[in-house]
């Protein structure tokens, strides 16, 4: 089984498109280079921010193949698996394994409101079908299904189910998971606007969104917290908050792409049915971005901090 630490910052990377609606690999590489230079600990591709629902299976395979080659083992490459049919989810996980992925982020089936037993059975089937480490995505706010403590109990016998992207928005869930399971399941905070709080409560890292535009600031917050330099982390976080709120809007893809464009590592192009934002909405989001850029903090030498990991 491949090894993934599930600690640190894992960007949920954008999928940049050209004006002709193809994947813009040179621009993706520019963003990837910025992420790696900033010190991220892994990458997640083809997730919600990566517009997975609009990518074909062939595009996902091509994208994964590109990322595995481009990253060249520097950090783990995780690909999202979000399918409606158990058999297809298993096939996607197996294909990802064959193409060199280091792990998968696994969502419950989305179009059918599965009950607890169905969700657990689905997770167990995928885990049995692949040797890849698995990050369970727990997001009842957006996807309508909560993976409860009792459900995680039933996943304990599956060693490759190793971590959770904690997006319940209930901070108590972090403590409840740690109290029940210790470090059996690594916890990655999945909501930008409570990311500092998640780290302070014991999360092992973050699956972040605005990191797509501001990788250094995101990694700095994580490493400052782990180095117990809380005041410095809090100062950056307070500056960051208006930007982080772009992550919890239905148009988070368009908004974060605007931010990445503003800092020169992205473009505004999205894939239909999404449309680029325009008019008053675009100006409002740009004001948030430009106000933040006008007051961008000077970061400490966060890459050379001694950090405590679990």
Per-residue CA distances from 210 to 86, 139, 223, 233, 254 (Å):
31, 18, 16, 16, 12
Residue recorded with tokens 């990050």: 135
Work out the angle between the directed axes of helices 215-226 and 230-244 (0-180°, nearest 10). 150
Written as one string, the DSSP assignment of 180-241 is HHTTSSEEEE--GGGHHHHHHTT--EEEESGGGT-HHHHHHHHHHHHTT-HHHHHHHHHHHH
Q: Which residues pair with 206 in a beta bridge?
A: 9, 189
- Within 10 A of 115 (CB to CB), how many other CB atoms are there? 10
Q: Say which of 165, 186, 226, 257 is annotated catalytic.
A: 165
CA distance 284 to 291: 11
Q: Say which of 10, 122, 137, 222 is annotated catalytic.
A: 137
- Does the annotation mark 25 as catalytic? no
CA distance 207 to 107: 14
Contact 11, 208 (CB under 8 A): yes
- Does the annotation mark 158 as catalytic? no
Contact 160, 131 (CB under 8 A): yes
Contact 102, 132 (CB under 8 A): yes
Burial degree of 229 (CB within 10 A; 0-12, 13-18, 19+): middle
- Within 10 A of 281 (CB to CB), how many other CB atoms are there? 12
Positions marked catalytic: 137, 165
């Amino acid at each position: 089984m491949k090894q993934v630490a599930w600690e640190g910052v894992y960007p949920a990377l954008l999928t940049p498109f050209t004006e002709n609606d193809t994947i813009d690999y040179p621009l993706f590489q520019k963003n990837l280079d910025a992420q790696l230079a900033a010190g991220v600990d892994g990458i997640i591709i083809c997730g919600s921010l990566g517009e997975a629902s609009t990518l074909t299976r062939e595009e996902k395979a091509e994208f994964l193949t590109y990322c595995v080659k481009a990253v060249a083992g520097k950090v783990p490459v995780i690909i999202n698996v979000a399918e409606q049919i158990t058999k297809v989810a298993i096939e996607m996980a197996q294909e990802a394994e064959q193409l060199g992925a280091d792990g998968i982020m696994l969502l419950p089936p989305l179009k059918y409101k599965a009950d607890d037993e169905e969700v657990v059975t689905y997770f167990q089937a995928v885990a049995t079908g692949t040797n890849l480490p698995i990050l369970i995505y727990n997001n009842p706010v957006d996807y309508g299904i909560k993976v409860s403590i009792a459900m995680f109990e039933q996943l304990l016998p599956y060693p490759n189910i190793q971590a959770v992207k904690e997006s319940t928005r209930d901070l108590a869930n972090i403590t409840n998971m740690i109290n029940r399971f210790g470090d059996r399941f690594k916890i990655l905070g999945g909501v930008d606007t409570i990311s500092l709080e998640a780290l302070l409560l014991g999360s092992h890292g973050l699956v972040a969104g605005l990191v797509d535009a501001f990788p250094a600031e995101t990694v700095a917050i994580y490493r400052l917290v782990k180095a117990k330099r809380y005041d410095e982390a809090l100062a950056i976080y307070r500056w960051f908050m208006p930007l982080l709120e772009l992550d919890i809007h239905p148009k988070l893809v368009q908004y974060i792409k605007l931010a990445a464009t503003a800092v020169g590592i992205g473009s505004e192009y999205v894939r239909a049915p999404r449309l680029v934002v325009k008019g008053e909405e675009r100006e409002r989001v740009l004001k948030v971005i430009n106000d933040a850029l006008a007051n961008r903090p000077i970061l400490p030498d966060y890459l050379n901090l001694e950090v405590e990991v679990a």
